[in-house]
């Protein structure tokens, strides 16, 4: 049976020593929060995820959700775990105190989210969707809607779902057919079918609030005619109590490859009462508030799975006796040496470790900017932080979930045949991880968003929020001989990223396919460069701490960074070559020759 131990020590290292908490905790909004409180939250989150959520992960996968008479029952123990989750105040972490939230910063919630995803990815989807929906409602809903629905959403008493996809359209939402008929009382009646709806129906909460994009009769075709509506499962009376059942039902559950304890529903709206959220025809813009929140959340799902896959692969590699070391017997008292002695096993483990720890630094760096964007009183700082979050969101979503699938598959490889069977749990991580590369916009779509929208936005303004700090860092350390083995590879990768950026921008002006052909490779090049920069910062910190206690931890950081720079970052060279080869190798072949 798989296990999980929250990496609190590493989380605190990233938050307190590499990224730092000063910029966030110095803001008036967070003046009462300190390092001790952050560590206390992490410690309690670790206890809850390790002892309550993780033990349900494998059993939940085997049992799955069940559907009967338009209702969904979650696996044994899940409802009780959710009740404990709510009683512990976990849904309220970053919620607005005006509506019952604790008002803690994102640098705390994104890290605790990693723990939840590591321990039980399927469980994480239920509160994750509600959090995204509450953020969207607070930003775009009327005061009446917010007062009526937000408190119980933030407290976790009511849940939320996001209803976009229809049987005939996924990414191209302009094709949707769900209708919203205006009524004399100002409400709308929605009719249509939505598919792949996570948490569309379940037994966790007494009410579920569906956020649905639909088209009014007079609306223009395409995405410009789409509006956003709140459709409650049960109507809510003026006093806040529940009324009659609304005409929205779960028609069936999807039979999936993974996350089987997460209810993925087909939802039918049959004249269901809905309320307009925001202005008419602004539905896509409003929904993107939730989608961007969810994309960052999906990135944390990826990191969570990658971490738990690594932990279990490491335990197995230390325990499993298999063959003898190539350089001679290492454990003469045993009939064979453990897997850990073999170079290829160590290659796989260090690949997982270096990418996971690098991704954790990247996630915290972005969450810092998320807090500054939302809470700084300096408009310039807010704008810069917003630009950075906009730029990095597709990278967080796509790269961290790619790392998850690759990491889970490496874990299976380390286990060998035992990784392929259910008993050890590693195959579940691979199945669960796979969806994260698909939902909330496939990773190919994320790459197109980065290269087609974020890169050229405001004549490259978003890019400056990454390029300028890296340039400044390289300049400050160009003569630092102690850091040369790390600064040199970063400088080369960053140079390739700069050249690729200019090359793509130039070629794409004449042929948009040039951007599309380069998009996925460019996103990975960007991500690896970002991790290289963060690993340099981690080495700088760790080098200064050697000799002050906890040397094993800090020396391990330096050695992991060295592996990343010499064994992972050289991919930047091949990625650059692939990018610069252009679109011709992809686009010149006639369609008929694919057969």
The dihedral over CA atoms of 403, 461, 292, 86, expressed in degrees to the nearest 10, equals 90
Q: Are 462 and 383 in contact (CB under 8 A)?
A: no
Q: State how beta strands 264-276 and 226-232 pair.
A: antiparallel
Rounded CA separation 111/12 (Å): 10
Rounded CA separation 277/139 (Å): 10
Q: Are 258 and 428 in contact (CB under 8 A)?
A: yes
pLDDT of residue 288: 83
Nearest to 161 by CA among 124, 194, 133, 203: 133
10 Å CB burial of residue 463 (0-12, 13-18, 19+) is: buried
Q: Are 191 and 141 in contact (CB under 8 A)?
A: no
Nearest to 361 by CA among 483, 489, 541: 541
Rounded CA separation 323/329 (Å): 9
pLDDT of residue 168: 86
The pair of structure tokens assigned to 230 is 């709140």
pLDDT of residue 131: 95
* Res. 8: pLDDT tops 90: yes
Q: Own/partner pairs for 84-87, CB < 8 Å, 24+ apart?
A: 84/48, 84/52, 85/48, 85/52, 85/127, 85/156, 86/155, 86/156, 86/157
Instruction: Give the total residue count for the chain.
Output: 595
- Single pTM value for the model: 0.97
pLDDT of residue 174: 77
Nearest to 425 by CA among 438, 408, 410, 437: 408
Q: State how beta strands 158-163 and 207-215 pair.
A: parallel
* Res. 170: pLDDT tops 90: no
Q: Are 59 and 78 in contact (CB under 8 A)?
A: no
Q: What is the mean pLDDT of the chain?
A: 96
- Radius of gyration (Cα) for the chain, nearest Å? 24
pLDDT of residue 292: 86
Which strand (E) or helix (H) includes residue 191?
strand 188-198
Largest CA distance in the chain: 84
* Res. 184: pLDDT tops 80: yes
Instruction: Kindly report, residue by residue over 40-52, the tens digit of the pLDDT.
Output: 999 999 999 999 9
Place 98 in a pLDDT band, splitting at 50, 70 and 90.
very high
Phi and psi angles of residue 207, each rounded to the nearest 5 degrees, phi first: -145, 150
Q: What angle do CA 465, 368, 377 make, to 5 degrees?
A: 85
Q: Own/partner pairs for 505-513, CB < 8 Å, 24+ apart?
A: 505/455, 505/456, 507/582, 511/583, 512/452, 513/583, 513/586, 513/587
- Residue that is written with structure tokens 């590693």 in the block: 426
Instruction: Kindly report, residue by residue over 340-399, the tens digit of the pLDDT.
Output: 999 999 999 999 999 999 999 999 999 999 999 999 999 999 999 999 999 999 999 999
Place 84 in a pLDDT band, splitting at 50, 70 and 90.
very high
Measure Cα distances from 169 to 164, 175, 177 in Å.
9, 6, 9
Active-site residue, from 440, 471, 485, 514: 440
**Out of 109-123, 161-175, 565-579, which region has the weakest mean confidence (pLDDT)?**
161-175
Rounded CA separation 411/429 (Å): 9
Instruction: Kindly report, residue by residue over 456-508, the tens digit of the pLDDT.
Output: 999 999 999 999 999 999 999 999 999 999 999 999 999 999 999 999 999 99
- Helix and strand numbers (H, E) in the chain are 20, 11
Catalytic (active site) residue 552: no
Number of neighbours of residue 54 by Cβ within 10 angstroms: 23
* Res. 515: pLDDT tops 80: yes
* Res. 110: pLDDT tops 80: yes
Rounded CA separation 3/119 (Å): 8
Rounded CA separation 348/64 (Å): 31
Instruction: Kindly report, residue by residue over 317-356, the tens digit of the pLDDT.
Output: 999 999 999 999 999 999 999 999 999 999 999 999 999 9
Phi and psi angles of residue 182, each rounded to the nearest 5 degrees, phi first: -65, 145
pLDDT of residue 83: 98
pLDDT of residue 396: 98
DSSP state string for 47-96: HHIIIIIHHHHHHHHHH--EEETTEEEPPTTHHHHHHHHHHTTGGGTTS-
Phi and psi angles of residue 8, each rounded to the nearest 5 degrees, phi first: -60, -40
Instruction: Kindly report, residue by residue over 279-307, the tens digit of the pLDDT.
Output: 999 998 888 888 888 999 999 999 999 99
């Amino acid at each position: 049976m798989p296990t999980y131990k929250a990496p609190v020590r590493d989380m605190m290292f990233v938050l307190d020593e590499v990224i730092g908490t000063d910029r966030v905790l110095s803001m008036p909004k967070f003046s009462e929060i300190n390092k001790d409180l952050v560590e206390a939250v992490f410690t309690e989150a670790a206890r809850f995820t390790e002892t309550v959520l993780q033990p349900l992960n494998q059993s939940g996968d085997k049992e799955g959700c069940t559907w009967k008479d338009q209702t969904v029952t979650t696996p044994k123990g899940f409802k009780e775990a959710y009740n404990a989750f709510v009683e512990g105040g976990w849904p309220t972490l970053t919620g607005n105190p005006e509506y019952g939230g604790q008002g803690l910063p994102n640098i705390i919630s994104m890290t605790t989210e990693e723990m939840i995803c590591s321990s039980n990815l399927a469980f994480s989807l239920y509160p994750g969707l509600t959090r995204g929906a509450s953020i969207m409602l607070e930003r775009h809903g009327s005061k009446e809607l917010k007062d009526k629905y937000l408190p119980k959403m933030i407290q976790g008493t009511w849940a939320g779902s996001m209803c976009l996809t229809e049987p005939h359209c996924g990414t191209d939402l302009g094709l949707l057919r769900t209708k919203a008929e205006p009524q004399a009382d100002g409400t709308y009646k929605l009719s249509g079918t939505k598919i792949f709806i996570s948490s569309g129906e379940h037994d966790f909460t007494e009410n579920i609030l569906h956020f649905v994009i639909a088209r009014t009769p007079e609306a223009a075709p395409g995405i410009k005619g789409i509006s956003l509506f709140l459709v409650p499962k049960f109507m809510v009376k003026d006093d806040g109590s529940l009324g009659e059942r609304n005409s929205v039902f779960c028609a069936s559950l999807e039979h999936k490859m993974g996350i089987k304890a997460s209810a993925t529903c087909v939802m039918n709206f049959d004249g269901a009462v809905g309320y307009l959220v925001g202005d008419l025809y602004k539905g896509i813009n409003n929904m993107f508030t939730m989608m961007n929140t969810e994309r960052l959340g999906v990135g944390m799902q990826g990191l969570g799975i990658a971490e738990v896959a690594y932990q279990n692969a490491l335990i197995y590699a230390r325990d499993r006796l298999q063959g003898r070391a190539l350089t001679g017997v290492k454990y003469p008292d045993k009939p064979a040496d453990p897997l850990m002695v073999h170079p290829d096993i160590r290659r796989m483990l260090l690949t997982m470790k270096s990418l996971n720890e690098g991704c954790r630094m990247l996630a915290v760096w972005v969450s810092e900017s998320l807090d500054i964007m939302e809470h700084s009183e300096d408009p310039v700082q807010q704008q810069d932080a917003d630009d950075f979050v906009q730029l990095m969101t597709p990278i967080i979503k796509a790269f961290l979930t790619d790392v998850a699938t690759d990491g889970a598959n490496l874990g299976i490889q380390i286990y060998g045949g035992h990784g392929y069977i259910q008993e050890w749990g590693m195959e579940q991580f691979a199945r669960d991880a796979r969806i994260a590369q698909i939902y909330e916009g496939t990773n190919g779509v994320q790459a197109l968003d980065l290269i087609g929208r974020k890169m050229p936005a405001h004549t490259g303004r978003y890019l400056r929020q990454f390029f300028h700090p890296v340039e400044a860092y390289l300049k400050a350390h160009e003569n630092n001989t102690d850091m040369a083995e790390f600064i040199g590879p970063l400088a080369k990768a960053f140079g390739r990223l700069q050249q690729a950026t200019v090359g793509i921008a130039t070629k794409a002006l004449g042929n948009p396919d040039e951007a599309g052909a380069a998009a996925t490779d460019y996103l990975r090049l960007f991500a690896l460069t970002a991790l290289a920069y963060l690993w340099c910062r981690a080495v700088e910190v760790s080098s200064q701490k050697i000799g002050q206690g906890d040397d094993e931890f800090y020396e391990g950081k330096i050695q992991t960074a060295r592996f990343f720079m010499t064994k992972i970052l050289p991919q930047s060279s091949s990625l650059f070559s692939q990018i610069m080869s252009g679109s011709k190798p992809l686009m010149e072949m006639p369609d008929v020759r694919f057969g």
